[in-house]
Structure 1
Amino acid sequence: MAARPAAPVHIVPGKGSGCFPAQCPNSGQVTPSSISLDRSIIFPTDPLRKPVVLQLPSNGLRLRFDGPDQRLRLIEVLDFSRTNLVYKNQDVLKGAKSADQPAGSSQGPSFRHVYNRLFGPSYPGEYVPPADQSPYGTYVLSYPGVAFSFPLQHSAWSDQCDFVALLSSSAALPATSMAIFQGPSWPEIRAKLFTQPPQYPRFSAVSSKTRDSFADEVEEFHILGAGKLEVVRRTSLPLLISLGETTPQDLIAEFGPPDAIYRKHDRRISIHRAAGVGNDALHLSPPARGMDIPDTDHSSTNSITDDSDDDFSPHSIGDPTSLPAECFFNYFHHGFDAFISYPTTPGPAFPGSGLPDPSTPLPSTQLTVTKIILHGNVPGSYPFNRHRRSRWMVHLDQSDYGFTSESPYDEISAQLRETWKDKYNGTPEERAMQRPMVLNRGWGDSPENSVEFLGGWEETTARGPRTGPDGHDGGLGNTELFGYPGLLFEVLKNGAVSCLTVY
């Protein structure tokens, strides 16, 4: 989702795609003259499964994105006077006014203009009777990828009428709204508008760099346990990433050069290093006790770049010895970061996965991928719009049983507690090991992203309510970190997973 597109914008739904009165609408190119973001509507308690609506009243537009994949699915033109719309070099409405003039002073295109000048013959549309005492109902005329709402006198409507003659008569008014969507017609697409697989790939425009070509885009990560991740791609065969074995050169060959290489040494969290006896066999991630905490390096959301490695160009990586000993490969347009370091033992296999636990690697000077950080790009979160959203599924056994990037954390936690229940020495130990640490992203001197918490700490902040009475996240935008074997979840107060680290 892009919050600050440049003007002019060519909007093509499904590559990256508003609603009628209880209805909603690709074709050609519809070109608004400019876009200015006014406000957005996000379901604060469920931002990943409900549509996200961007209201653009200064441009007369409303954009609707699906929650899970964050693809633009629907564009509504609600005020034709606010923007110039062009289809195949033909104005949708002659003489549309500029955005600085009052709204509501210009009607939309007439049926004759739509029928004769723009799109030509069409199948009959749908009539929606008025919901109140209004004398006008709404006739929705649909073409492939675009639909118009025409007010029609309810007294003139009849199933037996020729809709062309009816809409050409004085009983019909010019269109009051237009919808742009991907599909053959509005009646066929509306029920699956936000759930059908998009036809086109995402735009690889989250990165600030320009490229002539892009690596095949990532559709989803399947987390198998034991340091194994299967990467499902749009057209290429799935790719297996093995933590501690996959090299930086393997990543570059499959995903292209990273958008940035980042190294930062931050030791502020080392105060929480514990000296107790931990369960090394279980490889518990925080807040387990007794495991050493590496430097809390951070990556792409840090706005301070003085500590990043400007000398290492992402496009000129050849000799592995030229890389810093520990660094992040930031793939903004793929939605993930990879931590590059010397081989370490990955997290254990899930008990029902059928995979063997990974063995301890031999000492080596070969740099490998030791962690993968999957970014949720949750609307309203501190790092929003830095990475493209990464979708994932955790497979706890050999079936498709598990949870996904859209699952609320309460559901995730319940499944993981059940998975690992036999590995704890009683309820007190289980509760102690699942206490969260609070992470504040609202202050510039706070740990930022790709958090390297792989050990334990003694002090935590008591977990309070995730949301206020109005369902909005109050306070400083703090998140909570929850650790399980091989997995580290960063969770917002509404229960959405903002980031998942697999190690």
Structure 2
Amino acid sequence: MPPTLDLDIRPGFGLGQFELGMSLWTVLDFLRQGSNQHYFPQVDVKFDPDSPTTPVILHLRPHLDLLFSGHHQRLHTICLRRLQDPHPPLVLKYKNHILSSSVKGSEQTLLRLGVGQAFGPTYPGDDLCYPGVWFSFEEEGITRRDSLKSGRERSPQQTDRMQEVKRVIISQTSANEEDSDALAEVQICPVMHGDLKEVVVKVHEGILLHFYSSSAEPVRVRLGETTAQDLTCDLGPPMSVYYREDDRMTIHSKSRKEDEEIDTGYFYNYFQHGIDFLISGTTHVVKKIILHSNIPGSAMFQRYKRCPWAIEGRPEDDEDDTPPRKVFYTRFEDLSHFLSPGETPPQMQLDRTEEEQQLTLPSSATRLFGFDGVILEVTETSHVATVMLF
């Protein structure tokens, strides 16, 4: 018998283990854990392969649909459906009060009457809408805005108190419920604290990391200066340390001598920030910085959280406090002109699936474009998958 899925509703904040504002990387990492695979044995990821900034939907069959915002990949909306499906059995609660159960022997169906008893009065209509949560009596198809409009035009006498709830939708509350947009970015909330808000890239210098916290100071990482100890103090210990053994790219180095000892170094992997740091094995200072865009459908998808990088250009003068920037969803053509106007950068082909025979993708090949101090890895749809600073 499958384990019971016990979920509590927190209007405007989350459902069960899922908090609104959680990153896509965090949620998928959570679902991969062995203990959770019993509750969520089948996970489908849906996205637009032509755009890395359209929303991503996770289908956790049969009960849950999770909608993530397109730019920052944050959990925006949770949809709970098929409440009476016993595979696995589901118990839905609100403030320790059972609303619905599909557990054999203690079945309980959530009706319009039960919603009113638990949540109190609200606008009459086809759906019951409360701040941060609404209950639908249709399997699919109706939008929240349509629900609110139709609800205020319908009289209470036309509703059936014994209607069965087919879907429960949890989203953040806003000042104007009618103007809330399901495709908008998630409002800043406590679950984001400690995550990266923005990474400003300064070519030839390093990066400046801004975090979601009013008190946190930006962290500056300088190429050739910041040490491994500095990274540990500022960012905490890395999730992984990888000692580089692959030196195939050295064949392209013009300065390499036959008898020169190669400083292979080691990587500090901060998967939770979408950043790798290559550290010298002799001086232990940062030699290279790699930023990952976590593009759905790419070979590196889900290995790293999306890094919200922005490459900063040169200011027009000494008094320019807002130099131009190009962000992570900028197409390669614009970035190329931004970094090297009027020039065609050299390029190489890369296929990250060559060493992973079990991984097959419709478009696994990427191109590496070299600029002064920057290498961009670009997908076939002209989106930047990784940025490497050196």
- TM tier, smaller: 0.7 to 0.9
Partner-residue secondary structure (3-state), 1:92: strand
Does 2:281 align with 1:368?
Answer: no
In 2, the alpha carbon distance for the partners of 1:178 and 1:293 equals 65
In 2, the alpha carbon distance for the partners of 1:243 and 1:13 equals 36
Name 1:35's counterpart in structure 2: 40
| TM-align CA RMSD | 3.6
CA distances 1:426-469 after superposition (whole Å, capped 9, x unpaired): xxxx43xx2321111112279xxxxxxxxxxxxxxxxxxxxxxx
Deviation at 1:327, TM superposition (A): 1.0
Name the CA shift for 1:161/1:337 in 2 (closer, same or farther; >3 Å): closer
Partner-residue secondary structure (3-state), 2:273: coil
Q: Which has the larger radius of gyration?
A: 1
Deviation at 1:259, TM superposition (A): 1.4
Does 2:302 align with 1:415?
Answer: no
In 2, the alpha carbon distance for the partners of 1:378 and 1:158 equals 39
* 1:442 paired residue among 327, 336, 353: 353
Partner-residue secondary structure (3-state), 1:480: strand
In 2, the alpha carbon distance for the partners of 1:484 and 1:335 equals 22
Note the 1:120-135 alignment, pairs <5 A.
120-122=120-122, 124=123
Q: Is the 8 A contact 1:147 1:186 kept in 2?
A: no
Name the CA shift for 1:328/1:14 in 2 (closer, same or farther; >3 Å): same
Does 2:229 align with 1:222?
Answer: no
Does 2:329 align with 1:326?
Answer: no
In 1, the alpha carbon distance for the partners of 2:108 and 2:51 equals 36
Partner-residue secondary structure (3-state), 2:39: coil
Query: What is the TM-score with the length of structure 1 in the denominator?
Result: 0.60
Letter in 2 for 1:140: D
Does 2:187 align with 1:197?
Answer: yes
Partner-residue secondary structure (3-state), 2:296: coil
In 2, the alpha carbon distance for the partners of 1:186 and 1:142 equals 13
Name 1:149's counterpart in structure 2: 136
* 1:63 paired residue among 61, 66, 71: 66
Name the CA shift for 1:241/1:51 in 2 (closer, same or farther; >3 Å): same
Partner-residue secondary structure (3-state), 1:500: strand
* 2:78 paired residue among 62, 75, 78: 75
Deviation at 1:260, TM superposition (A): 1.6
Aligned length: 339
Does 2:237 align with 1:257?
Answer: yes
Q: Is the 8 A contact 1:378 1:384 kept in 2?
A: yes
Name the CA shift for 1:263/1:32 in 2 (closer, same or farther; >3 Å): closer
Name 2:56's counterpart in structure 1: 52
Q: Is the 8 A contact 1:32 1:84 kept in 2?
A: no
Q: Is the 8 A contact 1:77 1:178 kept in 2?
A: yes
Name 1:167's counterpart in structure 2: 159
In 2, the alpha carbon distance for the partners of 1:250 and 1:219 equals 20
Letter in 2 for 1:167: T
In 2, the alpha carbon distance for the partners of 1:148 and 1:261 equals 47
* 2:22 paired residue among 15, 23, 43: 15
CA distances 1:398-447 after superposition (whole Å, capped 9, x unpaired): 324221111122221232232xx4xxxxxxxx43xx2321111112279x
In 1, the alpha carbon distance for the partners of 2:46 and 2:151 equals 38
Deviation at 1:366, TM superposition (A): 3.8
Name the CA shift for 1:186/1:159 in 2 (closer, same or farther; >3 Å): closer
Q: Is the 8 A contact 1:378 1:498 kept in 2?
A: yes
Letter in 2 for 1:415: F
Q: Is the 8 A contact 1:482 1:489 kept in 2?
A: yes
In 2, the alpha carbon distance for the partners of 1:239 and 1:489 equals 23
Deviation at 1:112, TM superposition (A): 0.7
Letter in 2 for 1:402: R
Q: Is the 8 A contact 2:244 2:267 kept in 1?
A: no
Query: What is the TM-score with the length of structure 2 in the denominator?
Result: 0.76
Partner-residue secondary structure (3-state), 1:34: coil
Name 2:319's counterpart in structure 1: none
Deviation at 1:40, TM superposition (A): 2.1
Name the CA shift for 1:32/1:97 in 2 (closer, same or farther; >3 Å): farther
In 1, the alpha carbon distance for the partners of 2:385 and 2:334 equals 15
In 2, the alpha carbon distance for the partners of 1:197 and 1:183 equals 9
Q: Is the 8 A contact 2:312 2:325 kept in 1?
A: yes
In 1, the alpha carbon distance for the partners of 2:236 and 2:223 equals 19
In 2, the alpha carbon distance for the partners of 1:293 and 1:413 equals 32
Name the CA shift for 1:74/1:186 in 2 (closer, same or farther; >3 Å): farther
Name the CA shift for 1:184/1:93 in 2 (closer, same or farther; >3 Å): farther
Work out the percentage of aligned pairs sharing the same amino acid: 28
Structure 2 residue runs of 5 or longer lacking an equivalent are: 7-15, 25-35, 316-321
Name the CA shift for 1:54/1:225 in 2 (closer, same or farther; >3 Å): same
Deviation at 1:16, TM superposition (A): 3.2
Instruction: From the two aligned structures, give the one with the greater strand fraction.
Output: 2
Name 2:386's counterpart in structure 1: 499
Tell which deviates more after alignment, 32-41 or 484-493.
32-41
Name the CA shift for 1:376/1:12 in 2 (closer, same or farther; >3 Å): same
